[in-house]
Structure 1
């Protein structure tokens, strides 16, 4: 089905997404423990500046500041009744920035995990999860988002619930999972299992892929896993800007702009057609990624050895598709 996303992808062949939300907002003064979504109404100029970082750096789409805009997460801040409002305003601010750009730029409504564990492991029912995702998606659609953008999901059950929520809202969507446990998500999903899942959904995403995780090398190995399944949907790669380091009370990512430019080109060669950055990715990284994608012809898929040589070692010997690797207990962190 044609929409703004598929039209722009068909026109350009490769789309560059944006960088980090949390990293940039922390640099603007957001305090640890605060809800970034509250800034949509409290600090709208800063959210507009965040969006402009991506547009001015060459991104073809950017994500809205609505990652944690669901009833479960906002309840921690006494704002569970403001889900629709904060989602809508996040998209409205994005629409304002995109419509002023000198080229076509898409507003992707960010939707993160609920922060709860779904049945049968945890207490969150499928029906309630669908309701939460629907409320967020409906707010994003009301605010003018071109597409919804599910990200940092670990559980297949939650991914499926989000697909239903987007369907109820009538909002086309893309969706990524985070593979950070020996090539698997924290709930044990492998890259090949994700391909099978997304292609079997009644309301399939416009594109699927991986974001966040442990580092650019691991993420590209996951993208190679997606591509090996020869699915019919476009693949997304949104890797972190290197590895996080704790320094003087703050988390810093060690990926240089040059490294992220190399990552972007390798991600395209691995089979991704929507490429961006996640945690730690700043405007200077995006500028380098844009230049690298524009100036470097597409090449052959890299070998695992070539990925390691350029981007550094993998965090585990296995990518999870061979049945090896642990499955650790889930956590409830917020992406940075």
Structure 2
């Protein structure tokens, strides 16, 4: 499929994505509990600023302000009938920002989880999930998004439903999951499980990977897990800027711009193609990441020890892919097990 992101990946060794949406919008005045997507209509100037800050800092790709823009999430704010409209507006603003540049910039239509539990554990059926994702995908497509960007998914069933919806919308897509429970997603998926699932989809993503989670170290360990599967599909790394801490009544991420620069280079050397930040990642982080990627030569694939030395300790001793508990102690390195191969 010929599309802007595929063309960019054919000619680039790495692509810098954007940083945080929520963190930056909170700094602009968004209140906790409010729907950021409503700002697409109420404060389009602030959303334009959000996108512009990322591009000015060096991002080649930015996500639209539509993470919670599906009908299920917007129902919490009485706006479930506006899912397509609000997603369209988020992409329209992004299209204007990207088209003003004298270099290629990818507008990625952000699609987050529904917030519901998929059947049979919950009440959300596959058919309804596909309908919800399809509606949002159509809005983002109408607004001019180059690619759809599924993110922060925990359940494989939801990932598969989104893939089907994006096929119906006839849009290229990328998709990340969040590995935040000892190397697994909240619903128990490991990096190896995800890599296997992605290759079995009828319409697989252009690139896949991990976002958010716990911290940059844990995300790097997950990236190595993807690489170990050897699929050859481009990998996405979009880690948080350090670990969240509660300081003076606010959530603060302790990752410095210098730490995120180290993370960006390690992610590239580990095998990731699309590299960005998630929660806590500000323009100053992105600028340092861009500078490091441009000026530092590619190195060998990092070891677990090199990752923890540069980025800090892992949050768990295991990465979720252990064969069984009896083998864990034999396979652990410092802060995690040694990888097969």
TM-score bracket for the superposition, by shorter chain length: over 0.9
Structure 1: gaps of 5 or more residues: 326-336
Q: After TM superposition, give the deviation of residue 323 of structure 1 in Å.
A: 4.4
Deviates more, 1:214-223 or 1:6-15: 6-15
Q: What's the CA shift string for 1:163-191, capped at 9, x where partnerless?
A: 01101111110000000000000000000
In structure 1, how many angstroms separate the alpha carbons of the residues matched to 2:135 and 2:19?
25
Q: After TM superposition, give the deviation of residue 26 of structure 1 in Å.
A: 0.1
Q: Which residue of 2 aligns with 1:144?
A: 144
Q: Which residue of 1 aligns with 2:332?
A: none
Please tell me whether the aligned partners of residues 116 and 122 of structure 1 are also in contact (alpha carbons under 8 angstroms): yes
In structure 1, how many angstroms separate the alpha carbons of the residues matched to 2:206 and 2:95?
20
In structure 2, how many angstroms separate the alpha carbons of the residues matched to 1:233 and 1:206?
7
In structure 2, how many angstroms separate the alpha carbons of the residues matched to 1:323 and 1:101?
49
In structure 1, how many angstroms separate the alpha carbons of the residues matched to 2:323 and 2:52?
43
Q: CA RMSD in A?
A: 0.8
> Helix, strand or coil for the counterpart of 2:210?
strand
Q: Which residue of 2 aligns with 1:331?
A: none
Q: Which residue of 1 aligns with 2:232?
A: 232
Please tell me whether the aligned partners of residues 318 and 324 of structure 1 are also in contact (alpha carbons under 8 angstroms): no
> Helix, strand or coil for the counterpart of 1:109?
strand
In structure 1, how many angstroms separate the alpha carbons of the residues matched to 2:46 and 2:227?
38
In structure 2, how many angstroms separate the alpha carbons of the residues matched to 1:223 and 1:120?
30
Q: Does 1:164 align with 2:158?
A: no
In structure 2, how many angstroms separate the alpha carbons of the residues matched to 1:110 and 1:208?
14
Q: What's the CA shift string for 1:302-328, capped at 9, x where partnerless?
A: 110110001000000100000469xxx
Q: After TM superposition, give the deviation of residue 242 of structure 1 in Å.
A: 0.2
Shift of the 231–294 alpha-carbon distance from structure 1 to 2, 3 Å rule, reads same
Q: Which residue of 2 aligns with 1:328?
A: none
Structure-2-length-normalised TM-score: 0.94
Structure 1 stretches of 4+ moved >4 Å: none
Q: What's the CA shift string for 1:32-53, capped at 9, x where partnerless?
A: 0000000000000000000001
Q: Which residue of 2 aligns with 1:3?
A: 3
Structure-1-length-normalised TM-score: 0.96
Structure 2: gaps of 5 or more residues: 326-341
In structure 2, how many angstroms separate the alpha carbons of the residues matched to 1:162 and 1:232?
22
Count the aligned residue pairs.
325
Q: Which residue of 2 aligns with 1:294?
A: 294
Q: Which residue of 1 aligns with 2:337?
A: none
Shift of the 28–192 alpha-carbon distance from structure 1 to 2, 3 Å rule, reads same
